[in-house]
A and B are shown apart, each in its own frame.
Chain A
Amino acid sequence: MSEQGPHPLVGRQRRMILALRVSLALAATLALGGLLLPGETGRALAWGFVGLVIAAPVVRTGWLALRWWRRGDPRFALVAVGVLGVVALAAVLSW
């Protein structure tokens, strides 16, 4: 395996790392705003923070499903879609 070098499908996921860093900075900003600002604005920012915490891993999973599907790994793309299905089921049952 080593003689062939790194597998062409193996990436270091730079875009995902960047997206996660941006999400983290946004989460910290929303949390500070939600904590410090009074009234409805603060409450809206706080809900935004909770929404971001919930959405970040879900979006990451969708990203992976697309990535694996495009790169010829349909089995694990379907596993990712299965997890998204459970998320959707939770949302449907909750509302």
Chain B
Amino acid sequence: MSLDPPILLAVAAVAATLGTVGGFGGAVLLVPLLVATGTDPLVAAPVGLVTVGAGALAAAPGQLAAGVVHHRLGLTIEIPASLAALAAAAWSVNAPGDTLRYVLAAIVLAAGVAGFTRPIPRNQPQPEFVAEPPAEWPGTLGGTYAGPGGPVPYRARRLPGGLAGMVVAGAITGLAGVGGGFVKTPVMREVMWIPIKVAAATATFSVALTTSIALIVYAGQGRIDPESAVAAGLGGLVGGVLGARIQQRLDPTGLRRLLGVLLLGVAVVLVVTR
């Protein structure tokens, strides 16, 4: 059941670096690559989720210090996501034949297409909020984000639609072992009108919880191999830090498109190779 730890560490580090730079998370690349090279999807899923959890842990201190995590929003969206993840993780061992492979191909395809979308700024800077700290407002699903043009106040809109999207994200995590951040962030951004940086950081917090729940179920099913998990997790930690540094120096739009093409290629390989 063990994957070769040094190779897994290297592949996980590269996948996490690219996933962080592209903003879709390392497991979206790692799990399909493992499956395409012959690993059972049921073995690859927990390996992917450990990298997701490790990457979220690596990102958390910096995101909190920047005041871009909206904990109240993250936990509100987490209830449907975690229930869906729990149900999907429990069901995944009974998934027939190539179902998980095709689900993975669809997920990678969706993540690749998301790389070509262009976010529309929904909230504008408000100079009168200059004394407001960049943080969430207690008791609400609103807050202030320190944007480049000044403080940007925001509040979550269309909560039911947002929560429905989180069910999809949670199911993806529980079923396929990839983080649902590439669904959660666009849903928060486009449906709930949360600023992109707040949405991304809040999704990281929320995905960490979804990951924990799915990993608890996988552990109960005896699907976690500690040697593979630790190699992939360490790779996820290293790749997360490297990716964050590269992301700050390069043009994110061009990179996202390049990685989008790469993901589309991985989706094709997943469907073609059996």
User: Chain A: residues with CB nearer than 8 A to chain B?
Assistant: 1-3, 5-7, 9-10, 12-13, 16-17, 20-21, 23-24, 27-28, 30-32, 34-35, 43, 45-47, 49-50, 52-58, 60-61, 64, 68, 71, 73, 75-76, 79-80, 82-83, 86-87, 89-91, 93-95
Contact = CB atoms under 8 A, between A and B. Distances in A.
Interface in B122-136: 128-133, 135-136
A24 B209 CA distance: 16
Given A32-B234, A56-B57, A90 B86 contact: yes
Nearest to B64: A17
Contacts of A1: 128-129, 132
A9 B79 CA distance: 24
A89 B139 CA distance: 27
B205 interface: yes
Contacts of B233: 27, 31, 49-50, 53
B130 to A, nearest CB: 6
Interface stretch (B65-73, B112-120, B160-168): B65-73
B138 A57 contact: no
Given A58-B209, A64-B75, A86-B86, A7 B138 contact: yes
Contact of B209 (A21, A57, A75, A94): A57
From DSSP, what is the main secondary structure of chain B's interface residues? helix
B212 A83 contact: no
B5 A73 contact: no
A94 B216 CA distance: 7
Given A50-B215, A54-B216, 6 more contacts: A2-B128, A17-B65, A46-B226, A47-B226, A50-B224, A50-B233
Interface of B: 5, 9, 50, 53-54, 56-58, 60-61, 64-65, 67, 71-72, 75-76, 78-79, 82-83, 86, 90, 128-133, 135-139, 205, 208-209, 211-213, 215-217, 219-221, 224, 226-227, 229-231, 233-234, 237
Given A20-B57, A34-B230, A93-B86, A86 B79 contact: yes
Given A24-B58, A83-B82, A93-B220, A31 B230 contact: yes
A75 to B, nearest CB: 7
A86 B217 CA distance: 12
A93 B53 contact: no
B213 to A, nearest CB: 5
A16 B216 CA distance: 24
16 contacts: A5-B131, A20-B64, A28-B237, A31-B230, A43-B226, A46-B230, A50-B224, A50-B229, A53-B54, A54-B215, A54-B216, A57-B56, A57-B211, A86-B82, A87-B212, A90-B216
A54 B212 contact: yes
